[in-house]
């Protein structure tokens, strides 16, 4: 029986949230209009607060309704049917919540609600103008999930639409309008990963946090408080840079585990769309710190803070408009919201540029002349490097947008993304890393002392010498192991070591002086270590899975894929680097049974999640199922047993790679194959398969 009540309640809550955000935006605007900062109109302010609280309650109601639909398997609703299934554990049901566009918008709205409530509580002086911006943003975001049609124009996509209304042409609904599927299509197997539970909330919190300094900057321009906005917004910007950076790193590790790019970063356009605003936000933080310390770079701070939020909106447009559909494996499909997203982006671009132009001449500038020995100069140079790096990625990532825009104008464009995107981006971004590593050390040393030629030389001498000695030692070790190191990697190694050692020296010196302000040094050590980690993991990748069989996996595949991946026949040994390997069959992940269960021990039934045991299923000496028992299986978790034998030592071990490899040690990935024997498969690896110290049979 159809349960339309929960959907109607959720849709009503969306409408209430939209109307309340509209009222809050107008009320806060009227409260701050024509009044100095901190002297808002009391009556309008009360209306604005009440409206935002109503908006907050409505958002919580939307979340409760949507999760109830998913958790109770209400497959009469398209969102539950298309993202969930009966066999998903609760934590993956949570992932289902934000797998779709509507749910991810709702997650973003929720974080804005919490941040807005924090602004109302802790920044009363700035509340009216800042919350006017917050509520205006919420107005646009809630419109994205409104799901109403006004004058034949679709406004938003509702998560509460019934399946029969979405798939209206399906024959079953013509004969039985109340038809409800028994099961949903399920969560994409690639997303059935613990990172899907924690990565999106972290990333969207980072998105939401960029709004806070943006709102303060817009409020400062609006109210003519061109300098006071920096102090209250800087802590929020620092938190935003931290959270967004963690979100980017989480996404990189998720890609390494799940999509197995042969690394953690593939320069996918959607990955880039998040990376770009993070770089700009970090540059903005440095500009704000410069203003706090030496009353310089205020104009730069305004531009970069505003740009970081606008780039988040641009990233939203890129990933949700469908413009990247053929360029990225991450992007959402177009739900018909492209025009709405573009209006959303342009509204804030126009607002920000208008206010900046109107106030530009009034923004204070420093009369201080920056010389070589001013740390402010090198901090500014570092921020510039970050922005240039962001621009390079932005320019290339936006190629599909250029094509779409020219096509809209009737002009045919043949622009294409680089064939080798990794090489294209890396050749510039690598040098950006070199400059960032060097400047983090140089600027941090200069920041805490009065500088002239003698003092700077003395300060750089010790970390410089230790850096050169350490780099020479590493290079010798690399050559001793018969590996090569290109000149650019040597430069990155040297500057990365300098960044670590110089900042470590500063932190230790400050601790001896009992100075607590060493956060910048610690952060810079982290950045330098990250660059060294990237060098260590990416600088020595060695493809050992060369195809020497004389056959190809598929003529439809690119040449490099056929060339660099071992072709395996079941139960036949093949050489791969220093190993002889053989693929021996498919295995299932059976809940409650350690390790993996041979597919041949199971007889599949009409229910794809159940099978009959052909024989006793044992593991570690214990019988878990007897012959004839019904066994619960997870067919999407199919693994492929590959036996390895090291040629030199004779040591053997077994790996069970699968379509979504979630084990840190599973460097090999094999796609699903036919059950017909002999089956063929391939192992693409851009890094050597691990040589474990002990046998790993059935390791999880």
> What is the reported pLDDT for 332?
53
Q: Which of 53, 154, 160, 184 is nearest to 103 (CA)?
A: 160
- Specify the pLDDT at position 12: 96
* Alpha-carbon gap, residue 249 to 243, rounded angstroms: 10
Given this model, what pLDDT does residue 435 score?
95
Per the rule left: phi > 0, alpha: psi between -120 and 50, beta: everything else, 656 is beta
Alpha-carbon span 642 to 585, nearest angstrom: 8
Q: What is the pLDDT of residue 335?
A: 58
Q: Mutual orientation of helices 421-447 and 453-480 as an angle, nearest 10°?
A: 140
Contact between 649 and 634 under an 8 Å Cβ cutoff? The reply is no
Q: Decide if 245 contacts 285 (C-beta within 8 A).
A: no
DSSP tag of 210: H
* Residue 634 CB partners (closer than 8 Å, separation 6+): 87, 588, 589, 590, 591, 609
> In terms of Cα–Cα distance, which of 685, 303, 265 is closest to 433?
265
Beta strands per DSSP E along 183-248: none
**CA 657, CA 530: separation in Å to the nearest integer?**
28
Structure tokens at 6: 């929960």
Gap between the Cα atoms of 158 and 144, Å rounded: 8
Let me know if 628 is exposed, middle or buried by CB neighbors in 10 A (0-12, 13-18, 19+). exposed
Q: What is the 3-state secondary structure (H, E, C) of 570-610?
A: ECCEEEECCEEEEEEEEEEECCCCCCCEEHHHEEECCCCCE
Distance CA 580, CA 567 (A): 13
Residue identified by tokens 């600027």 is 443
The series of mean pLDDT values per 10 residues for the chain, 700 residues long, is 89 96 97 91 95 97 96 93 88 88 93 97 94 96 89 85 88 87 83 83 95 97 94 95 92 71 71 91 95 92 96 89 62 64 92 95 85 89 94 90 82 81 87 94 89 89 94 91 85 94 89 73 90 78 76 76 81 87 89 88 86 90 90 82 90 79 34 31 34 29
CA distance 124 to 40: 10
> What are the CA-CA distances from residue 187 to residues 80, 95, 333 (Å)?
10, 8, 16
CA atoms within 13 A on the CB side of 12: 6
From CA 432, how far away is CA 275, in angstroms rounded?
Answer: 14
The answer to whether residues 316 and 341 touch, using CB atoms and an 8 Å cutoff, is yes
- CA separation for the pair 598, 675 (Å, rounded): 13
What phi, psi does 135 have (nearest 5°)?
-65, -35
pLDDT of residue 137: 96
Compute the distance between CA of residue 200 and CA of residue 99 in angstroms, rounded to an integer. 9
- pLDDT for 571 equals 87
Distance of alpha carbon 94 from the chain centroid: 18
Residues 617 and 597 sit within 8 Å (Cβ to Cβ): yes
């Amino acid at each position: 029986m159809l349960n339309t009540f929960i959907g109607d309640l959720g849709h009503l809550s969306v409408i209430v949230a939209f109307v309340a955000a509209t009222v809050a935006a107008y009320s806060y605007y009227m409260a701050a209009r024509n009044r100095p900062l901190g002297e808002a109109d009391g009556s309008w302010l009360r209306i604005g607060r009440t409206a935002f609280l109503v908006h907050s309650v409505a958002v919580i109601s939307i979340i409760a309704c949507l999760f109830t639909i998913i958790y109770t398997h209400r497959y009469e609703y398209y969102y539950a049917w298309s993202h969930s299934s009966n066999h998903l554990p609760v934590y993956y049901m949570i992932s289902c919540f934000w797998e779709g566009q509507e749910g991810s918008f709702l997650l973003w709205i929720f974080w804005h609600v919490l941040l807005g409530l924090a602004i109302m509580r802790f920044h009363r002086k700035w509340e009216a103008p800042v919350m006017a911006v917050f509520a205006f943003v919420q107005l646009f975001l809630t419109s994205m999930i409104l799901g109403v049609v006004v004058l034949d124009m679709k406004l938003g996509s509702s998560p509460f639409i019934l399946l029969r209304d979405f798939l209206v042409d399906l024959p079953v609904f013509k004969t039985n309008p109340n038809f409800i599927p028994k099961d949903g299509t399920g969560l994409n197997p690639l997303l059935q990963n613990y990172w899907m539970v924690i990565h999106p909330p972290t990333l969207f919190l980072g998105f939401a946090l960029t709004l806070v300094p943006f709102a303060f900057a817009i409020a400062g321009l609006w109210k003519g408080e061109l300098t006071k906005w920096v102090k209250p917004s800087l802590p929020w910007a620092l938190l935003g840079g931290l959270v967004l950076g963690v979100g980017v790193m989480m996404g990189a590790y998720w890609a390494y585990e799940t999509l197995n790019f042969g690394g953690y970063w593939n320069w996918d356009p959607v990955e880039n769309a998040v990376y770009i605003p993070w770089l700009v936000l970090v540059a903005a933080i440095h500009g704000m710190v410069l203003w706090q310390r030496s009353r310089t770079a205020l104009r730069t701070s305004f531009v970069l803070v505003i740009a970081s939020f606008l780039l988040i909106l641009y990233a939203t447009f890129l990933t949700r408009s469908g413009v990247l559909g053929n360029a990225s494996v991450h992007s959402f499909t177009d739900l018909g919201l492209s025009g709405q997203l573009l209006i959303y982006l342009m509204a804030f671009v126009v607002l920000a540029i208008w206010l900046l132009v109107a106030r530009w001449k009034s923004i204070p500038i420093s009369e201080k002349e920056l010389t070589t020995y001013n740390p402010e100069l090198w901090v500014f140079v570092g921020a510039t490097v970050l922005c240039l790096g962001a621009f390079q990625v932005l320019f290339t990532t936006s190629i599909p947008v250029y094509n779409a825009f020219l096509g809209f104008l009737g002009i045919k464009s043949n622009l294409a993304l680089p064939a080798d995107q990794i090489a294209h981006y890396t050749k510039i971004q690598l040098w950006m890393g070199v400059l960032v590593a060097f400047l983090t050390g140089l600027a941090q040393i200069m920041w805490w002392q009065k500088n002239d030629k003698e003092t700077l030389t003395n300060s750089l001498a010790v970390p410089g010498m230790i850096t050169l000695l350490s780099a020479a030692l590493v290079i010798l070790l690399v050559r001793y192991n018969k590996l090569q190191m290109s000149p650019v990697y040597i430069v990155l190694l040297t500057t990365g070591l300098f960044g670590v050692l110089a900042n470590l020296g500063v932190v230790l010196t400050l601790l001896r002086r009992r100075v607590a302000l060493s956060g910048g040094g610690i952060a810079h050590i982290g950045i330098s270590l990250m660059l060294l980690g990237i060098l260590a993991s990416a600088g020595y990748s060695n493809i050992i899975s060369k195809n020497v069989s004389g056959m190809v996996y598929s003529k439809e595949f690119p040449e490099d894929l056929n060339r660099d991946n071992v072709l395996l026949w079941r139960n036949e040994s093949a050489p791969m680097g220093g190993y002889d390997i053989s693929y021996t069959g498919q295995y299932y992940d059976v809940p409650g049974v350690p390790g993996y269960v041979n597919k041949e021990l199971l007889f599949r039934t009409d229910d794809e999640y159940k099978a009959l045991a052909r024989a006793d299923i044992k593991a570690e000496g214990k019988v878990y199922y007897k012959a004839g028992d019904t066994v619960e299986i997870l067919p999407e978790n199919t693994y492929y047993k590959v036996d390895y034998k090291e040629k030199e030592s004779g040591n053997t071990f077994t790996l069970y790679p699968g379509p979504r490899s979630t084990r840190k040690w599973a460097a090999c990935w094999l796609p699903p194959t036919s059950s017909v024997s002999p089956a063929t498969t391939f192992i693409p690896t851009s890094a050597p398969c691990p040589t474990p110290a002990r046998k790993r049979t059935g390791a999880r």
